[in-house]
Amino acid sequence: MLHSATDFPAELLNRYGSTMSGLPNVRRPATLASLAAELGVSRTTVSNAYNRPDQLSAPLRARVLEAARRLGYPGPDPVARSLRTRKAGAVGLLLTEALSYAFRDPAATGFLEGLALACEQAGQGLLLIPVSPEHADVTAVHQAGVDGFVVYSVREDDPHFLAVLERPVPTVVCDQPHGVEGVDRVGVDDRAGMLSLTRHVTGLGHRRVGVLCMRLGEGRHDGLADQQRLQNATYPVQRDRLAGLRDGLAEVGVDWADVPVIERFEHSVEAGQNGAAELLGARPDITAVICTSDILALGALRYAGDRGLAVPDDLTITGFDGVPEAERAGLTTVRQPLLEKGRVAGELLLERGDRNRPRRVMLPTELLVGTTSGESRTEQRFFSGW
C-alpha cells in the first residue's frame, strides 16, 4: 500500500522529511564536516569536543555536543579512528574461565576492580576475553581489538596465552605463568606465604595434615592427586603453594608422600565442601585441613559445620588469599593485596611506553591468624564415628 505525505503526522514529516515517492525517510545523519559547517567552526574543533575536550572551553564544547544531538551526529566513528591511530583504546583481560567467574570469584573480583581503576585513570576501556580452559579455540584472542593484554593466572601451556604472545602488543601476566621472556609480571611469593602459614599450623602441634588444592594442570581431575600429578603441575601458583607447604612440613619431619592432596577442578565453595568430605572420609585421623585458597577453605568450613565438627577444637582449617568473605568468617589465611595487584598490572601495561626490559613486581603477603586454627588435641581424636 502506498502512502502520501498527508498520511503522516506533521511532526514526523518535520523530523524525517519525505522522499519523491511520498514515503517517510530518516534524514541522513550529520557528518563531522556538516556539523562544523552548521556551527561555523573547524572540523578540528568538532573532533576535539569528543577526543580532546581539554582543548576547548566548556561553553564551546557544550554548544558542539548540543548541535550534534540536535542534528543526529553520532560522534567520530571508533572503527575509523582505530584504523587511523592504530589504537583500540582498550586493554584486554584474558580469563581462562567462564565470564561469570570474574564477577563470582572474590579474588578475581578484587583483581578486576584494581585493573578497572588503572584503566579509568588512563582513560582506557577494558575488554574481558573469557575462554574455556577445556577448549583450545583461540579465535577470541586473535580477534580482540585491544592495545595490550593482561593475562590473569593461566597455566604454562595454555593455548590462549600462547596466542596472546603471538600478538604484537605488550602483555602483563598476573600470578602465572612465571619467567616468560619479554613479558611483565605482577604477583606474590606464594611459596613463602604458604610456608609461613604451615609453620603456624605445625607450631600448634599438627602433624596429621590433609590438603585441598585448586586445579593443577590440563584436563578435568577431581580426587586424590598422586605424586606424578603433583610433580607435573602446570599451574605455578598451586605448585609454589604446595612447595611451601611441603617445606614447612619437612621442617617437623612430616613425609610429603604421606600427605593426602585432594584436587578440585572447579573453584567454588561447593567444591571445597565435597573435597573435604572426600579427604576426611579417606583419612579421618587428620587434624588440620590446609587449603590453597580461601574459597575451598570456606567449603571445608561448611562441611565441618554440617558434620557437627567444632573448628578449631575438632579440626583446624586454613586458606590462602584473604578475600573479604574469609576474613568475615574468621579464617586463618594468607592475605594478598588483590586490588593492588590488579592496579599494578594495569599500570605496568598502560605506562610501558618504549620500555623494552620486562619488569617483575612482587607484592607482600600477610599471615592472618583467625579463629579457625587451634592446638592439636590428638588425645581427643576419635574419628571413627564421622
Report the amino acid identity of residue 247: D
Placement of cell 577526543 in the chain? 51
Q: Which stretch, 15-29, 184-198, 216-230, has highest mean pLDDT?
A: 184-198
Report the amino acid identity of residue 216: L
For domain 190-337+367-385, the question of CATH label 1.10.10.10 is answered with: no
Nearest to 239 by CA among 215, 267, 271: 215
DSSP-derived secondary structure letter, 241? H
Nearest to 127 by CA among 100, 102, 145, 105: 145
87-187+338-361 with 190-337+367-385: one CATH topology? Answer: yes
Q: Which stretch, 15-24, 336-345, 349-358, has highest mean pLDDT?
A: 336-345
154-158, 183-187, 234-238, 359-363: the lowest-pLDDT one = 154-158
Query: How far apart are alpha carbons 373 and 333 in whole angstroms?
Result: 10
261-263 vs 209-213, strand pairing mode:
parallel
Average pLDDT, the chain: 87
pLDDT at residue 385 greater than cutoff 60: no
Query: How far apart are alpha carbons 177 and 302 in whole angstroms?
Result: 32
Domain ranges of the chain: 5-83, 87-187+338-361, 190-337+367-385
Options 3.30.70.980, 3.30.505.50, 3.40.50.2300, 3.40.50.450; CATH of 87-187+338-361:
3.40.50.2300
pLDDT (0 to 100) of residue 73: 78
Options 3.40.640.10, 1.10.10.60, 1.10.260.40, 3.30.70.270; CATH of 5-83:
1.10.260.40
pLDDT at residue 355 greater than cutoff 70: yes
Q: Taking the CA atoms of the chain, what radius of gyration do you get in angstroms?
A: 28
Specify the higher pLDDT residue, 148 or 88.
148
Under 8 Å CB-to-CB from 137, ≥6 apart: which residues?
131
Do 186 and 344 touch, CB atoms closer than 8 A?
yes
Specify the higher pLDDT residue, 384 or 51.
51
DSSP-derived secondary structure letter, 53? G
pLDDT tens for 290-345 read 999 999 999 999 999 999 999 999 999 999 999 999 999 999 999 999 999 999 99
Specify the higher pLDDT residue, 269 or 355.
269
Query: How far apart are alpha carbons 61 and 75 in whole angstroms?
Result: 13
Looking at residues 91-96, what average pLDDT do you find? 91
